[in-house]
Amino acid sequence: MTSLSPLSAVGNTWEILGVVWLAGLVFAKRTVRSQPAGSMWFQMALALIGFSLLGSTWFSAGWLGMRFLPSAPKLELAGLALTIVGCALAIWARITLGSNWSGRATVKAGHELIQRGPYALARHPIYTGLLLASVGTAVAMAEWRCLLGLVLIAILFIAKIGQEEKLMLQAFPEAYPRYRQRVKALIPGLL
Whether residue 22 is predicted with pLDDT greater than 80 in this model: the reply is yes
State residue 28's pLDDT score.
87
In 3D space, the residue among 157, 166, 46 whose CA is nearest the CA of residue 106 turns out to be 166
22 within a domain of the structure (yes/no) = no
Whether residue 173 is predicted with pLDDT greater than 70 in this model: the reply is yes
176 within a domain of the structure (yes/no) = yes
| Identity at 36, one-letter amino acid code | P
State residue 59's pLDDT score.
82
The dihedral built from the CA positions of residue 180, 182, 186 and 189, taken in this order, carries a sign that is positive
* Calpha distance 110→30 (Å, rounded): 9
Tell me: the pLDDT tens digits for 101-129? 988 898 999 999 999 999 999 999 999 99
Question: Considering the entire predicted model, what is its pTM?
Answer: 0.92
Tell me: the pLDDT tens digits for 125-160? 999 999 999 999 999 999 999 999 999 999 999 999
170 within a domain of the structure (yes/no) = yes
Query: Across residues 77-102, what is the average pLDDT?
Result: 95
* Calpha distance 97→47 (Å, rounded): 21
Number of domains in the chain: 1
* Calpha distance 28→160 (Å, rounded): 18
Give yes or no for a contact between 110 and 18, defined as CB atoms under 8 angstroms apart.
no
State residue 1's pLDDT score.
45
146 within a domain of the structure (yes/no) = yes
The CATH number for 157's domain is 1.20.120.1630
Domain residues for the domain of 88 are 40-106+114-182
State residue 132's pLDDT score.
97
Give the CA dihedral 177, 178, 184, 190, nearest 10 degrees.
110
Give yes or no for a contact between 159 and 120, defined as CB atoms under 8 angstroms apart.
no
Query: Across residues 87-99, what is the average pLDDT?
Result: 96
Give yes or no for a contact between 30 and 99, defined as CB atoms under 8 angstroms apart.
no
25 within a domain of the structure (yes/no) = no
* β-bridge mates for residue 108, sequence order: 31
97 within a domain of the structure (yes/no) = yes
State residue 42's pLDDT score.
92
